Amino acid sequence: MRKSYFITGTSTGVGKTRVASGILAGVSRLGFSTVGFKPVAAGCERTIDGLQNDDAQMLLSQTSLPLSYEQINPIALEPAIAPHIAAKELGQRLSADRLAGFYRGLMTNNPDFCVVEGAGGWRVPINNQENFSDFAKLIKLPVILVVGIDLGCINHAILTAEAIRKDNLVLAGWVANQIVPVMNRYKENISTLQHWISSPMIAELAYNQNASPDETADQLDIKSLL
C-alpha cells in the first residue's frame, strides 16, 4: 500500500494537526509505515537544533520511519504570521514547485502512508501568484477537510469544499472538529454540513484541546482511508 492525503482546514486553528497526527497514529497501529509532512510552518521557536514548530514536531512523533525534523518540515519560519509574509520578511521565496519537490524527495523513503498538512486554509498564499492550493494541485492528492465547528463554519466549509472541487481534486472526506466548549445548535450545524458536503464525514471530534493522537485515532474511520 502507498497512500497520501492532503489535510486542509476551513481556517487556521481548526485542528489540522490533531486530525493529521490521529490518522498517522491509527494507520501505524495497523502495521503500516507512516510519514507526516508539513512543508511550511510559521511560528517556529528557536531550539538547540534550530527553528522548530510544535505542529511539525507532533507529526514527527507519529512518523514511524527514521526521518529528521528537517525532512518533515523543510521550511521553518519564526514569525507567527501568514507564511508568504514571513518568508518575504526573511528574504525567502516560497513556490508550489519547491514545495512539491520537497514532497517528492520525502516520498523516496517509500512510506506506506503519508499525510501532508497545509498551512491555514485552502487559499492561503505562498507568494504573490500562488496559494497552498497550487501546491496541492501539483502533487494531486485526495484532500481531507477539517471543519472547525464554530459560528460561521457552515459558510467556510461549503466554500472550501467548492474550491477543492473546482481545483479538480478529490475531497475524500471531512472531519467535524468542535473547537469551542459549547456550540449553540451543534447538531443542526452538523446536519446542515452533511447535507451540503457530498463527501463523507469521517469523524466527529468533541471539543478536547489536549487530545492525544491515539485518542483522536479512536474516533476516526481509519479503514476508510486505506
- Residue 79 binned pLDDT confidence (cut-offs 50, 70, 90): confident
When computed from its CA atoms, the radius of gyration of the chain, rounded to whole angstroms, is 16
pLDDT at residue 1 greater than cutoff 80: no
* Average pLDDT value for residue range 81-94: 89
How do 75-77 and 40-42 pair as beta strands?
parallel
pLDDT at residue 59 greater than cutoff 80: yes
CA distances to 35, 36, 46, 170 from 5, in Å? 11, 10, 29, 10
**Architecture, CATH, for domain 3-220:** 3-Layer(aba) Sandwich (3.40)
Helix and strand numbers (H, E) in the chain are 9, 10
Q: What pLDDT is stored for residue 186 in this prediction?
A: 94
* Average pLDDT value for residue range 198-217: 95
- Residue 175 binned pLDDT confidence (cut-offs 50, 70, 90): very high
Q: Based on the residue annotation, tell me whether 3 is a catalytic residue of this protein.
A: no
pLDDT over 70, % of the chain = 100
Q: What pLDDT is stored for residue 130 in this prediction?
A: 95
pLDDT at residue 95 greater than cutoff 90: yes
Domain limits of the chain? Answer: 3-220
Q: Which of 38, 88, 140, 223 is catalytic?
A: 38
- As a whole number of angstroms, the distance between CA 44 and CA 119 comes to 13
pLDDT at residue 160 greater than cutoff 90: yes
* Average pLDDT value for residue range 149-162: 96
The C-alpha cell of 223 is what?
Answer: 479503514
pLDDT at residue 189 greater than cutoff 80: yes
Check if the beta carbon of residue 189 is closer than 8 Å to that of residue 156: no
CA distances to 95, 103, 186 from 140, in Å? 16, 11, 33
- As a whole number of angstroms, the distance between CA 23 and CA 13 comes to 18
* Average pLDDT value for residue range 82-90: 89
What's the whole-number average pLDDT of the chain?
A: 95
146 has which bridge partners? 9, 175
- Residue 93 binned pLDDT confidence (cut-offs 50, 70, 90): confident
